[in-house]
């Protein structure tokens, strides 16, 4: 019964978000309903929704998955070694939206639940998720708004939650090999079990329900701003950093691939186009330089 409650919430969240984004973009999402073959070690099903080459979003992917496996992979038990190798279920909604306009930031949001049953023990539930913003050109107004909504979503769960999860986000979405943040952060939490099942579900619901309020006003402000090839080129270059983080450091990507998940759905977070350059520099005082000096650093935005 508890699993069904989470599943119903997550599938409803996915539908609310994709229908809203589709109306804004004027483009329908392609809906791909999938099911793992019985011969595969990981069983389950899901719904991947993807929008590509729209006027507002170059690529917007939002996926729901509900999978079961015989053995938790190492990426899921870093903080719970007692559950290493236990059979598990995992449910979640994950999205990444890559806008067409370089002045609109890329956004990521994920809410999920894992349940594992160790040998001879009771089922253990824990929750995780969050959202973060990756701008290509920085705007103070946008950063303050995004973090204000994040703080408000967490306020009912204690005054300590936003500072704690904001710091966790800053630490997690960090490219160690570049010594550089991925973006301006947001909130991130994992292995949450305060208040039991009800407390965890309430937290991921608050985060999921606040996503559109956090992101859509920014899209509205920036999506019609004129831009040139210079801004587009910088956007593609910075998208390369996004790819690097997802493939090298992201625990969610590692969990999906290590557990035998559906590769096409796992990698839907990748941008359709990205670029790399050798020792690229920015001109002092330029908007591109401002991104590094004023936004890609740990700041208290609210």
Look up 108 and say whether it is catalytic.
Answer: yes
The CA distances from residue 100 to 19, 24, 84, 136, in Å, are 19, 13, 42, 11
Q: Which of 108, 145, 147, 254 is the catalytic position?
A: 108
Q: Which residues pair with 219 in a beta bridge?
A: none
CA distance 107 to 97: 5
**Closest by Cα among 189, 97, 186 to 147:** 186
Q: Which residue has the tokens 């508890």?
A: 2
In the chain, where do the E strands start and end? 30-35, 43-52, 57-69, 88-99, 106-116, 124-134, 174-175, 180-181, 185-192
CA distance 93 to 47: 10
Other CB atoms within 10 A of residue 199 CB: 14
**Closest by Cα among 11, 19, 24, 17 to 224:** 24
Residues 6+ apart with CB under 8 A from 260: 40, 41, 42, 69
CA distance 4 to 6: 5
Catalytic residues, by residue number, are: 108
């Amino acid at each position: 019964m508890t699993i069904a409650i989470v599943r119903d919430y997550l599938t409803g969240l996915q539908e609310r978000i994709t229908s809203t984004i589709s109306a804004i973009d004027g483009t329908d999402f392609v809906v791909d309903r999938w099911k793992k073959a019985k011969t595969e070690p990981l069983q389950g099903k899901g719904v991947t929704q993807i929008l590509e080459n729209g006027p507002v979003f170059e690529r917007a992917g939002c996926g729901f998955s509900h999978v079961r496996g015989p053995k938790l992979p190492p990426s899921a038990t870093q903080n719970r070694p007692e559950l290493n190798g236990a059979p598990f279920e995992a449910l979640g909604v994950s999205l990444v939206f890559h806008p067409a306009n370089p002045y609109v930031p890329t956004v990521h949001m994920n809410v999920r639940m894992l349940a594992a049953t160790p040998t001879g023990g009771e089922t253990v539930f824990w929750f995780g998720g969050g959202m973060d913003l990756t701008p290509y050109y920085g705007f103070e107004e946008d950063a303050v708004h995004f973090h204000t909504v994040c703080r408000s979503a967490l306020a009912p769960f204690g005054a300590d939650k936003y500072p704690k999860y904001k710091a966790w986000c800053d630490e997690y979405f960090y490219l160690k090999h570049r010594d550089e943040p991925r973006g301006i952060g947001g909130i991130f939490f994992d292995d949450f079990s305060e208040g039991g099942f009800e407390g965890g579900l309430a937290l991921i619901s608050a985060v999921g329900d606040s996503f559109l309020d956090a992101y859509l006003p920014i899209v509205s402000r920036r999506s019609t701003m004129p831009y040139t090839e210079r801004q587009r080129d910088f956007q593609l270059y910075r998208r390369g950093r996004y790819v690097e983080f997802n493939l090298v450091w992201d625990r969610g990507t590692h969990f999906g691939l290590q557990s035998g998940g559906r590769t096409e759905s796992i990698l839907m977070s990748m941008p359709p186009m990205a670029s790399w350059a050798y020792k690229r520099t920015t001109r002092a005082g330029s908007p591109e330089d401002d991104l590094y000096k004023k936004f890609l650093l740990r700041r208290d935005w609210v």
